[in-house]
Structure 1
């Protein structure tokens, strides 16, 4: 399997979740071994997608360099990861990736419009070689060896609409588009009110998030009966993109979030619990079929 980029540039304008201001997002092709690079056109600063460039994980995954940041990268990177794209320039004229409808489907549509281009060099995978886990306050995130790419997530909220949800996602691109990419981010009304009081979530609305009060949801309906846990998988896929390549292994989590996911990527590197592998022919590894 060969490295991938996109065939042509594509762009969109959307609203940033926290500042509530318009953001222009442009995806551009990059050559082999370039990796994923964010570029703040208003600051003239490039920020490579690397675990060490993560500067905040409280409300979203935020990367930064030289005092310049890009926030809420996880939904876009979830879509990029799902297409097996290795090299891409992501240009923004503000400090947030636009929230779009709160899911990843808009970014999927952008990538489909751009098309996928295969390059000459072989694609690299990160193969998990031993179990690594992070636990905190009854929550955990774990990576372990597997011949497949699996995301196994469970959540448990003390809320009548959510409760306990579990979803096991056997990764491939088409299943991602159908089962995961449309699942929206969610939040609680009392939290939204607090965030707005401190100048955050100014771009949030029922058009780009599921909002819950104490008894139910304020939106008309859910896209999936278990949309909440599916969105947590969407987030986890985006957070794991910080490894720098698609991984081969099993991700498992209970009530994890951006912070634990980030610590997990750091721990994997610290323990050297992986090897970088590449394949010259598709038939050498059935897993490449997952990327179409």
Structure 2
């Protein structure tokens, strides 16, 4: 698809926020070219909005937070991954709370919504960032880099102290079919020993085995969808976070990266690159 897209019709979904534990209704609305993905807080006076851009990232602890003026939204990465991988460029996302619904903890809920809504091509070219040099972020033993590449490829190494998880490696060429089949079903991961601490910090208040893959003593308490579901979800997060730079083409190589490094890389690319209009 050479031109920008939006969804063909409005569609809504109601669920619970992963970290807030609040019920929320999300409505996806068609938008005009050059709008981008914009989150609109319908529960606040004057319905303030914030664009899905690395420029507006204010927190990346356990989830990605965007904030612009009175508009603040968090845990946006699973939804953004679906928009990015399914090549939906423009959408107004109305929320009546600060956090989108978590669905089942993966991107499947959002994939299904976008497929039901359909996709509409707009009369404006897509603007693609095709990198021509290396971009990288390193913090201690964690790093993420983006190298020139014809397409979008993600190679991720996850290292976890639990012996049942250990080292997991995933390497995927990202396109709509691969994303839907191999990445979108991978759920967010939780550990029983962390739950009390997270909830004391106001996190994971809506988490359950219905919307997360939960481990205890290194063993999954609910059935795995993939033997390497952890690293696949890490790749899902990269897709969502990296989309905050725009439509990026390159080879991502990451080791133990999380939202903080992912969004720092997106910001670095956004600040240094000038998008060019390319055919896809």
Normalising by structure 1, we get a TM-score of: 0.92
SS of corresponding position for 1:265: helix
Alpha-carbon distance, 1:52 to partner:
1.4
2:54–2:270 contact (8 Å) kept in structure 1: no
Note if 1:176 corresponds to 2:176.
Answer: no
In structure 2, the residue matched to 1:225 is 227
Q: Distance in 2 between matches of 1:3 and 1:128?
A: 20
Q: Distance in 1 between matches of 2:269 and 2:87?
A: 21
In structure 2, the residue matched to 1:276 is 275
Q: Distance in 2 between matches of 1:60 and 1:7?
A: 29
Matching residue within 229, 233, 236 for 1:234: 236
SS of corresponding position for 2:133: coil
1:128–1:275 contact (8 Å) kept in structure 2: no
Q: Distance in 2 between matches of 1:144 and 1:268?
A: 11
In structure 2, the residue matched to 1:148 is 151
Note if 1:66 corresponds to 2:69.
Answer: yes
1:129–1:275 contact (8 Å) kept in structure 2: no
Q: Distance in 2 between matches of 1:86 and 1:250?
A: 21
Alpha-carbon distance, 1:275 to partner:
4.0
Structure 2 unmatched ranges of 5 or more = none
Q: Distance in 2 between matches of 1:134 and 1:29?
A: 35
Q: Distance in 2 between matches of 1:267 and 1:120?
A: 29
Q: CA-to-partner distance for each residue in 1:169-202, whole Å, 9 max, x for gaps?
A: 1011011000000000002111112112343211
In structure 2, the residue matched to 1:103 is 106
SS of corresponding position for 1:152: strand
SS of corresponding position for 1:147: coil
Q: CA-to-partner distance for each residue in 1:17-69, whole Å, 9 max, x for gaps?
A: 12212100110000111111110001111111111111110110000111431
SS of corresponding position for 1:234: helix
In structure 1, the residue matched to 2:59 is 56
Q: Distance in 1 between matches of 2:269 and 2:157?
A: 21
SS of corresponding position for 1:117: strand
Note if 1:16 corresponds to 2:17.
Answer: yes
SS of corresponding position for 2:55: helix
Alpha-carbon distance, 1:118 to partner:
0.2
SS of corresponding position for 1:64: strand
Worse-matched range after superposition: 156-165 or 70-79: 156-165
When the two structures are aligned, how many residues end up with a matched partner? Answer: 277
Matches within 5 A, 1:72-221: 72-219=75-222, 221=223
Q: Distance in 1 between matches of 2:134 and 2:218?
A: 39
2:170–2:231 contact (8 Å) kept in structure 1: yes
Alpha-carbon distance, 1:96 to partner:
0.4
- Which aligned runs of 4 or more in structure 1 are off by greater than 4 angstroms? none
Alpha-carbon distance, 1:211 to partner:
1.2
Normalising by structure 2, we get a TM-score of: 0.96
2:243–2:266 contact (8 Å) kept in structure 1: no
In structure 2, the residue matched to 1:282 is none
In structure 1, the residue matched to 2:43 is 42
SS of corresponding position for 1:194: helix
Alpha-carbon distance, 1:73 to partner:
0.1
Structure 1 unmatched ranges of 5 or more = 280-284
Q: Distance in 1 between matches of 2:149 and 2:225?
A: 30
Q: Distance in 2 between matches of 1:173 and 1:269?
A: 23
Aligned-residue RMSD, C-alpha: 1.2
